[in-house]
Amino acid sequence: MLITKIKAVLTTIILGLFIVVGFSGIGLFFAPNGREARLMNWTFLGFSRSALETLHDIPGLILIILLVIHFSLNLKLYINEIKILFK
């Protein structure tokens, strides 16, 4: 029962981080160079380029760590699905 709650919380956090990293990634895709962005005071929905970089890097690292934990908690499920896939 406890592991199910842990998985549910972990999945919800991963979804939230995915949205944050996706949003910042879109903003960084459209952002001009760092110097140009500073000179023209460029923002993406109110976030500067440096804020988007921070918003992308830190949650991205946390997302990777949580995905590894999520994968390890669900490893048995993944192995069973792969066995079914290659039957």
pLDDT in tens, 63-82: 999 999 999 999 999 999 99
pLDDT at 82: 93
Domain count, the chain: 1
Burial, 52: exposed, middle or buried (Cβ in 10 Å; 0-12, 13-18, 19+)? buried
Is residue 66 within 8 Å of residue 14, measured between CB atoms? yes
- Residue range of the domain that includes 20: 2-85
Half-sphere exposure at residue 82, Cβ-oriented, CA atoms within 13 angstroms: 6
pTM given for the model:
0.81
